[in-house]
Amino acid sequence: MKKLAALSMVILAAVFWAGSGLAAQDFFAQSDRNAMELTNIRMLLAGALLFLLSCLLGGAERSRKVLKEEPRLWLDLFLYGAAGILLMQFSYFQGIALGNAAATTVIQYTCPAMVICYESLHRRRWPRLGETGAVLFAVTGIFLLVTGGHPERLSVPLDCLLWSLASGAFFAFSSIYPRHLLFKMDPCFLLSMGMLLGGAVSCALVPELNWQDFFRPEVRGDLAFIVLLGTAAAFLLFNAGLLWLTPGEATVTAAIEPAASVVLASVLFDIRFGWVESVGILMVLTAIVLPLAGARREVSRH
């Protein structure tokens, strides 16, 4: 029963993450604000909310003691926020602004394949069979999605494709770089500080931001969803699910995000993908699951 509840929480978190991309798409349709401005306000508001939750749950105090003992970790926190979360969020919103949320989310989920390539180079080893399959499926899937099977034309704008791939790369960096911090700090505190520090950097890039524009009736619902459900609630639900799921189970279940984004985009924005693009999307989803399946086979052999 606990595992079922945990699976439900992780699935709901994935749906909220998918919904935040669609909320961003609607925001850009209703507003003349740009991706960096939305990134700025999202990171500052969500970071403040997550920091408050970390304080209430006791994680901030434990993490503060770690930072007091090892002040050099502040630099790692800053790099995580400025070079990881800030650039990941900006490139994701930029991809949505130039294309659509469904395509951007699917392309961003080439992140696991990027992590596999990095780990193989870093450890100087050949990828396992499941990892090799994941990379091939991801690359082929993105090719089918963006070309519709016709290499001479793109069904997804080129700038959307490039920004979405960049988001996947920064997503990979944000997954790899803070691993040593996760062993020492509360995850909620770590994410909140990453968002607040990255948000502070983004303030320099949008010096004349008018916050009132984000609370106009036509867009404040989008902003509320992005900050409250698509960030704070999704993160808390995902981490609560980890209490009863293995990280592998949670990761595979969270892969429902790109699928949910495609379904919701079809319902809410009438965005349709042809059968070739749909095959490409299915291949990307398969690429997310393959490494775990391969790892399980390796464990069973030993």
- pLDDT at site 298: 45
Q: What angle do CA 235, 71, 78 make, to 5 degrees?
A: 45
Q: 238: Cβ–Cβ under 8 A, 6 or more apart, which residues?
A: 9, 10, 13, 14, 250, 254
Q: What are the pLDDT digits (tens) for 43-78?
A: 999 999 999 999 998 899 999 999 999 999 999 999
pTM of the model: 0.86
Q: What are the pLDDT digits (tens) for 120-162?
A: 888 888 777 777 777 788 888 888 887 877 776 778 889 999 9
Q: What are the pLDDT digits (tens) for 263-274?
A: 888 777 777 778
Least Cα distance to 165 among 195, 194, 145, 148 occurs for 145
Q: Which two tokens stand for residue 36?
A: 């960096």
Least Cα distance to 294 among 175, 170, 128, 163 occurs for 128
Residues 131 and 116: their CA atoms lie apart, in Å, by 7
Highest mean pLDDT among 91-95, 106-110, 115-119, 124-128: 91-95
- pLDDT at site 247: 55
- pLDDT at site 207: 75
Question: How is the chain split into domains, by residue range?
Answer: 34-99+173-215
